[in-house]
Structure 1
Amino acid sequence: MGICEIPAYARPAAPPTGPWCGTALGALALPVLMSLMAATVGLGAAGWAAGAVYALVLWVLLARGLRRDGAATMRPADRVTLARAVLVGGAAALVADAAFGRPGHTWTLVAMSAVALAMDGLDGPVARRTGTASRLGARFDMEVDAFLILVLSVHAAFLLGPWTLAIGGARYAFAGAARVAPWLGGDLPPSTARKAVAVVQAVALIVAVSGVLPHGFAVAVAAGALALLAWSFGRDALWLWRARERRRVRERTPNGG
């Protein structure tokens, strides 16, 4: 052994790597955020419980997704989306607190939701610039958007009525319907209109729960968003149904003609 050579047992251990470790660091950011919230605006037991469950589910699902995707660690765009997911978790904690009678801290909720929504325009460009776009990254981004809308629709339900839950639940209802009618789970073509409708849902709900509008106007804004969402899902369902019919025609036609 050379005089400057360090035996293997004395060398510092290499930092742990892999999907589980990488995503755990991100999931730990949510308890840190909730601690800051508790020290400033206050956070009750319901908020802590909701945030803890959210952080655990986020860690497990994202780590499994990375492992199935064959990624050793998170990509740059995934880290941006994870930061958004942490903010959404903080918003969920505030909504859980409000549901159990604590002050809703409306402006904190609005600010966190608005920042999470604004950051939605970052992960795509980061993925393209770094050449790390992936199917998992797109799915992760979509799920964070969907959960933000669900959280906001739950809060809106206490202010405007339970019908607003249809806004947040529509995407999950569509996914559930695809289990009964598999053709609804087919791949849809990229659509700028679909993305715009998703943004409109989040913006409309943020405005509706902010308290800046009279109650009647807030109801009208949320109702308009729901009508637009129904149009978007109806259009996608119609496209998928027509695609199924075209496949059936090809299957019945000899030689695929």
Structure 2
Amino acid sequence: MTSVTAPAGTGSSRAPVVGLAAQLALLALLGSTLGLTPTGLIAGAAYGLALCGLLGAGLDRAGMTQIGPANAVTLARAILVGGVTAMVVTSFVQPVNTAALVTIAGVALALDGVDGQVARRTGNTTALGARFDMEIDAFLILVLSVYAGDRFGWWWVAIGAFRYAFVAAAFFAPWLNAALPPRFSRKVVAALQGIVLALVTADLLPTVLTLAALTVALGSLTWSFGRDSLWLYRASRIRAAARERWGAPQRRPALVH
């Protein structure tokens, strides 16, 4: 979970503008040194625009004029994800530097623990910071699962798509939006996805072991989402039964003079 400091004055935060400039600078560096395709660079730039636009809107909606140190770490991680995105899109048409891709993705994954530690030590957390952190995690896993899918079968994209499918399903089943009880196993499963996808991206395992690792990752994710969905469904039925039994509170009739 990341943090955002309380507003120190009026005006808008400069963080989204600085973040966009850093994103474009990183893409320029990667494009000149690694030979990324125009399509890859456009994808990275589009990601950067969407990232900084949404961050700016979130800060304005929350009334924040500055981001805290933990969110600054998350923003740095998010910029690295833009570089990963550009490299993965480039890999569709030409080979990319695997060492560079693994290094950038690995640093982005490792920084996930850093921003959480900073947030806990500063004791300054908000819903916006937590959402920012979560969305960057989810998108990085999606991009890495696309890279794995292009090489080992597109069904592995389900690893990254699971979370977005869950969000989409919540539009049709609002009970999926209810709060879940904290579970350590959920964190373990989430960490497993990053570890497996990093190994797959590095191409360190034989094909058989790679497919086995992807199977374990997808299987554990399916179990985790399935268990949470079942818990949410049962909780919604309990709430519905309670409403049916006790009924909605009735308004007292208005007095007529």
- Structure 1-normalised TM-score? 0.89
Alpha-carbon deviation of 1:20?
5.2
Match of 2:182 in 1: 190
Deviation at 1:251, TM superposition (A): 0.9
User: Equivalent residue for 1:31?
Assistant: 24
**Match among 64, 68, 83 for residue 76 of structure 2:** 83
* Greater relative CO (CA pairs within 8 A, separation 6+): 2
Q: Is contact 1:17-1:73 (8 Å) kept? A: no
For residues 116 and 15 of structure 2, the distance between their equivalents in structure 1, rounded to whole angstroms, comes to 20
Q: Pick from 16, 21, 30 the counterpart of residue 14 of structure 2.
A: 21
- Indicate the RMSD between aligned Cα atoms, in angstroms: 1.7
CA distance in structure 1 between the aligned counterparts of 2:67 and 2:13, rounded to whole angstroms: 10
Q: Which of 136, 143, 149 is matched with 2:141 structurally?
A: 149
Check the 8 A contact 2:149/2:156 in 1, yes or no. Answer: yes
Runs of 5+ unmatched residues, structure 1: 1-15
Counterpart position of 1:205: 197
> 1:195 & 1:17 partners in 2: Cα distance?
37
1:227: how far off?
0.2
Distance 1:73 1:18 in 2: 9
CA distance in 2, matches of 1:70, 1:192: 32
More deviation in 126-135 or 246-255?
246-255
Tell whether the 8 Å contact from 1:76 to 1:132 is kept in structure 2 after alignment. no
Give the residue type in structure 1 aligned to 2:56: A
CA distance in 1, matches of 2:40, 2:247: 60
Query: For structure 1, which segment, 125-134 or 61-70, has the greater mean C-alpha deviation from structure 2 after superposition?
Result: 125-134
Would you say how many aligned residue pairs link Structure 1 and Structure 2?
240
Corresponding letter in the other structure for 1:170: F
The residue aligned with 1:122 is 114
1:107-186 to structure 2, matched below 5 A, reads: 107-186=99-178
Amino acid at match of 1:45: P
What residue is the counterpart of 1:8 in the other structure? none
Q: How does 1:56-95 map to 2 (within 5 A)?
A: 56-95=49-88
> d(CA) in 2 for partners of 1:134 and 1:196?
23
Output aligned runs, 1:43-58, within 5 Å: 43-58=36-51
| Contact in 2 for aligned 1:20/1:59 (Cα 8 Å) | no
Structure 2 counterpart of 1:30, one-letter code: Q
The answer on whether the counterparts of 2:73 and 2:114 sit within 8 Å (CA) in structure 1 is: yes
- Asked if 1:105 corresponds to 2:106, the answer is no
Q: TM-score, normalised by structure 2?
A: 0.89
Percent of paired sites with the same residue: 48
Quote the residue 1:217 is aligned against. Answer: 209
C-alpha contact 2:13 2:67 (8 A) present in aligned 1: no
